[in-house]
Amino acid sequence: MHLLITGGAGFIGSHLCEKALEYGHRVTVVDNLSQGLRENIPEGARFVYGDILQPEMWLNKIGPVDIVIHLAAQISVPASEVDPLTDLRLNLEGTLRMLMAAQALGATQFRTASSAAVYGDVPHLPLREDGPVHPIAFYGWSKYTAEQYVFHFAKLHGLDAVVFRLANVYGPRQRTQGEGGVVAVFCEAMAQNRVLEIHGDGQQTRDFIYVEDVARAFLHRLENPGPKTVYNVSTETRTSVYNLFLALAKVAGKPQDGYRLAPVRLGDIHDSVLSQEKAKAWGFVPKTSLEDGLALTWQYFLNQELKP
pLDDT tens-digit readout, 25-53? 999 999 999 999 999 999 999 999 999 99
- pLDDT tens, position by position, 148-186: 999 999 999 999 999 999 999 999 999 887 556 999 999
Query: What is the pLDDT, as a whole number, of residue 178?
Result: 54
Decide: 33 and 58 in contact? Cβ < 8 Å.
no
With DSSP H G I counted as helix, E B as strand and the rest as coil, what are the percentages for the chain, rounded to 5? 40, 20, 40
pTM of the entire predicted model: 0.96
Q: How confident is the model at residue 121 (pLDDT cuts 50, 70, 90)?
A: confident
* Coil, strand or helix at 138: helix
Over 60: is that where the pLDDT of 116 sits? yes
Q: Which residue in 119, 139, 144, 231 is the catalytic one?
A: 139
Over 80: is that where the pLDDT of 308 sits? no
Domains of the chain as residue ranges with CATH: 2-169+210-233 (3.40.50.720), 170-206+237-273+288-302 (3.90.25.10)
Query: What is the pLDDT, as a whole number, of residue 179?
Result: 55
**CB contact burial 129-163 (16+ within 10 A = b; e otherwise):** beeebebbbbbbbbbbbbbeebbebbeeeebbbbb
To the nearest whole number, what is the mean pLDDT of the chain?
Answer: 96
Query: What is the pLDDT, as a whole number, of residue 292?
Result: 98
* One-letter amino acid for residue 92 of the chain: L
Alpha-helical (H) ranges within 93-210 are 94-104, 138-157, 182-191
- pLDDT tens, position by position, 173-229: 998 875 569 999 999 999 999 999 999 999 999 999 999 999 999 999 999 999 999
Mean pLDDT of 79-83: 94
- Residue 86: how many CA atoms within 13 Å on its side-chain side? 11
Residue 300: exposed, middle, or buried by beta-carbon count in 10 A (0-12, 13-18, 19+)? middle
> Could you say which DSSP state residue 40 is in?
G
Query: What is the pLDDT, as a whole number, of residue 266?
Result: 72
d(CA 70, CA 97): 11
139 belongs to the catalytic site: yes
- pLDDT tens, position by position, 48-59: 999 999 999 999
